[in-house]
Amino acid sequence: MHNQSMPFNSFNINLQGNQTCIFIFSERNTTRLNYTLGFLFNRVLGINFSIMNDIEEFKAINGFKINYSQQLINQSLQIIPNGLLNESEITQIKPLPFYKNNLIYFFEDKKGELGFDLFSAVFYFISRYEEWQNFEPDQHFRFEASSSILFKYNFHLKPVVDYWILELKNKLKHLYPTIQIPDKKFEIISTIDVDNLYAFKNKNIFRIIGASIKDVLKFDIYQLKYRLLVLMNLKKDPFDIYESISEFCSENKIPLFYFFLFKTNTKYDRTVNPKSSAYKKVFSLIKNKNASVGLHPSYDSTYQPELMVNEFKDFLTSSNQKNIVSRQHYLRFDINITPKLLIKLGVLADFTMGFATVPGFRAGTSNPFFYYDFVEEKEQSLLFVPFCAMDGAYSVYQNKSADEALLSMQKLATEVKNAGGYFITVFHERSFYNHLYKEFGDLYKKLHLILKKI
């Protein structure tokens, strides 16, 4: 269990004083099993667990028990292992699905009381095993929805891992009526990627002239006029949403994280110069409103470590941060490379775990989980915080309207509430500018006010 001080109180990743303990018999005590049980029992169900290898000692225990073996043991819930948690390598074998109760399952076993190896199924998804397996990356070298086993079987819109764990919880409460397992509260967390600090302000003269010429060539008179009014200090920059959104989230008690790009002058990185003093002013404003700031490492940073090092250095200097969180720009994230770079730089939590092109649960869960390193075969200190919906998936990749996006996000939020987890969204500063994305500027506040009533 990790006890380092996190830069936020949004995630209860450690036990909150619950003394309930579940005893688990397993003939082998592996790092994969410990990792899975830590997530399942400590961080999702909020109870303790103890692994026992001595069968006679396990039989003698008078308590809440799970038998994770082929052997028959009375007065315990049996889950029959398929072997995945005893392995020490990665295979290319993809688990086959089966269905019941309108839900998808993996690692079927008809003899166990749940009908499948829950522990292996949870491990497969939260360890991101499928991202360590061979897959076809998209044009940005990302693991995208088309490579996801949940997307393939059309279950990416449900937090299936959370539902499986809820099923275990109900089974334990039925078997052991006195067991104390706390109910999980539905949590809403907002995140905003700032790809461009301002639309018009704080740009050099060459960028201003070039952008104005583009406005003229596109006959975008509205934007040209807006640009000039901002530059003359007669109108607020359309990307300057930091005070209003921070106040909104503070008033509605919604944890809010901003991730700032700190690289410019490349095809995919076009923000205000990271050396600008404008960042310090924005950071100060955000922190005064009880929101958090993190880095948005640039497009090439995953494959050029020196870029990431320099960006973190500049960001820490400007933000005066002690604890660091981040999310990769364009969600360019390589499970073999990115986490190790972030750990070396002292990052505590990464928020990249989601899809760019569609909404859904990339790891099958709405709950944060720690990075599992298959090279060293152990859990590492980096916390993955998964999101399930990003504005650009609707507006850019799927060409959906704001109303369609709102309906989709409401459905996702209902799924998360039913399973008991965290509903986490990603918006961008540009989405608040209705001229660029029709009616998306009003979507953010409308969504979060609706979510308060779910």
Mean pLDDT, the chain, rounded, equals 93
The model's pLDDT over 166-201, given as tens digits with 9 standing for 90+, comes to 999 999 999 999 999 998 889 999 999 999 999 888
Which residues, including other chains, have CB under 8 Å from residue 422's CB and lie 6 or more apart? 10, 11, 187, 188, 189, 366, 367, 368, 385, 416
For 187-202+236-451, the fitting CATH number among 3.90.850.10, 3.20.20.370, 2.40.50.100, 3.40.190.10 is 3.20.20.370
Choose the weakest-confidence range: 204-213, 234-243, 313-322, 345-354: 204-213
Angle between helices 402-419 and 160-175 (to 10 degrees): 30
Q: For residues 50 and 72, what is the distance between their CA atoms, to the nearest angstrom?
A: 19
Segment 370-397 shows an average pLDDT of 96
The model's pLDDT over 216-253, given as tens digits with 9 standing for 90+, comes to 887 878 878 888 888 888 999 999 999 999 999 999 99
Q: Which residue has the tokens 């086993």?
A: 149
DSSP secondary structure code for residue 93 in this structure: P
Give the predicted TM-score (pTM) of the model.
Answer: 0.94
The model's pLDDT over 252-274, given as tens digits with 9 standing for 90+, comes to 999 999 999 999 999 999 999 99
State residue 402's pLDDT score.
95
- % of residues, the chain, pLDDT over 70: 96
DSSP secondary structure code for residue 266 in this structure: S
Nearest Cα to Cα of residue 342 among 302, 372, 304, 378: 302
